[in-house]
Amino acid sequence: MRTPLIAGNWKMNGSLALVDAFAQALVTTRLPARVEVALMVPFPYLGAAARAFRDAPVAVGAQTLSDQPAGAFTGEVSGAMLADLGARYVLVGHSERRSLFGEDDAGVLARVQAALANGLTPVLCLGETLEGREAGRTEAVVLGQLAAVFDALGPDERARLVLAYEPVWAIGTGRTATPEQAQAVHAAIRARLADYAPALAEALKILYGGSMKAANAGELLAQPDIDGGLVGGASLQVDDFLAICQSAG
């Protein structure tokens, strides 16, 4: 049985005050025992968040990392640094990184490998654009992004990932995929994972992301192949995010 994971992605938002607001709310809120919770915060807040959530059942993660271990790469942040600060997760291949910062499949693979080399759990993001969906290419795009990473990894490495299906047309648009649309893609991803190994398909978490909020989380999370959420905008509101966590329990 897969334990649901609700992960917030603050993107380039938030503040130390928001870290504190989450920490204070977590003192008085009892999260469901069978739900894992994580917050992917901007680099500068990682250390503070890891300290603030030390006694809370909330893990901390980053939103990207360098594909290089160290060296003259001004402005970059390595996997070792993230681990040093207490990060457990790191998003890799978010559609904003792919489209705005030129991360291609090879760059995504290199970042997954850098994360694994430093003991981090990569949350590999997959998703089609509206154009891709309307052209009937949803599965081809998503399964192609999956293969670009999974074909290059060994069985033990594959087992250490979390996947997130985030249709690009649903991100930040308020236009959520219907539970049926999301479930269909999640099932296709899981079927492809079974080609690598049936046990991998059974074990790997596949999160849904794209305009998930308290009002629609319950019906999305009730789908058999949706194992949690990757939440953008609603993770900036303590009450909204904790309500989504509750609905996963």
Least Å from the CB of residue 168 to ligand 13P: 9
Least Å from the CB of residue 198 to ligand 13P: 29
Residue placing its CB nearer to ligand 13P in the complex, 128 or 196 = 128
Does 202 participate in catalysis according to the annotation? no
Q: Which residue is nearest to ligand 13P (CB)?
A: 232
Residue placing its CB nearer to ligand 13P in the complex, 121 or 211 = 211
Least Å from the CB of residue 216 to ligand 13P: 11
- How far is residue 111 from each of residues 15, 89, 118, 142, 162, measured CA to CA in Å? 26, 12, 11, 18, 14
3 contact partners, CB below 8 Å, separation of at least 6: 34, 35, 36, 205, 227
Pull the structure tokens for residue 69. 């271990």
Residue placing its CB nearer to ligand 13P in the complex, 190 or 213 = 213
Of the candidates 181, 161, 172, 177, the one whose C-alpha atom is nearest the C-alpha of residue 231 is 172
Burial 88-117 (b: 16+ CB within 10 A, else e): bbbbbbbbbbbeeeebeeebbbbbbbbbbe
Least Å from the CB of residue 164 to ligand 13P: 7
Is the Cα torsion angle 195, 112, 86, 63 positive or negative in sign? negative
Residue placing its CB nearer to ligand 13P in the complex, 124 or 149 = 124
Beta strands in the chain (DSSP E): 5-9, 36-40, 58-62, 89-92, 121-126, 162-165, 206-209, 228-231
Least Å from the CB of residue 125 to ligand 13P: 7
Does 166 participate in catalysis according to the annotation? yes
- Of 36, 103, 166, 186, which is the active-site residue? 166
- Of 94, 96, 103, 128, which is the active-site residue? 94
Contact residues: ligand 13P, CB under 6 A: 9, 94, 166, 171-172, 209-212, 230-234
**Residues 112 and 153: beta-carbon distance below 8 Å:** yes
Residue placing its CB nearer to ligand 13P in the complex, 44 or 172 = 172
Cite the active site residues: 94, 166
